[in-house]
């Protein structure tokens, strides 16, 4: 078993991807093969997994009230509308006043 990982930073990124479920099938396969013989990565995986598990136990999942969801969506929509108007104004300004 390896005592030192020559790609530790990259391996830790892969461990994060595996733990959060965003790793591709190829990354998962590489992870499984590599984990069998790399002590620093095994320890890193165990630490990251225990932190994730502890946070999930401590965190309480609550639903957001529907009124809050509607309020946030309307503010985002209004912001996008204002941004659209500003974009049109800038375009008109450039058309009218640039030579």
Supply the pLDDT for residue 12. Answer: 87
Counting residues of the chain whose pLDDT is more than 70, the rounded percentage is 99
Alpha carbon 51 to its chain centroid, in Å, reads: 17
Are the C-beta atoms of residues 44 and 11 closer than 8 Å to each other? yes
Are the C-beta atoms of residues 36 and 29 closer than 8 Å to each other? no
C-alpha distances (whole Å) from 12 to each of 39, 67, 81 are: 13, 40, 41
Supply the pLDDT for residue 75. Answer: 93
Q: What is the mean pLDDT of the chain?
A: 87
Supply the pLDDT for residue 56. Answer: 84
Q: Determine the Cα angle at 61 with ends 22 and 69, to 5°.
A: 90
Q: pLDDT class for 99, splitting at 50, 70, 90?
A: low
Alpha-carbon gap, residue 48 to 70, rounded angstroms? 36
Kindly report, residue by residue over 34-81, the tens digit of the pLDDT.
778 888 888 999 999 999 999 888 877 778 889 999 999 999 999 999
Q: Give the count of beta carbons closer than 10 Å to the beta carbon of residue 41.
A: 21
């Amino acid at each position: 078993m390896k005592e030192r990982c020559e790609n530790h930073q990259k391996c830790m990124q892969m461990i994060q991807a595996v733990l959060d479920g965003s790793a591709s099938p190829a990354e998962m396969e590489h992870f499984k093969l590599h984990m069998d013989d790399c002590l620093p990565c095994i320890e890193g995986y165990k630490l990251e997994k225990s932190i994730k598990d502890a946070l999930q136990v401590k965190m309480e999942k609550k639903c957001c009230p529907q009124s809050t969801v509607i309020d946030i969506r309307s503010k985002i929509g209004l912001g996008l509308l204002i941004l659209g108007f500003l974009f049109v104004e800038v375009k008109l300004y450039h058309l009218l006043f640039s030579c």
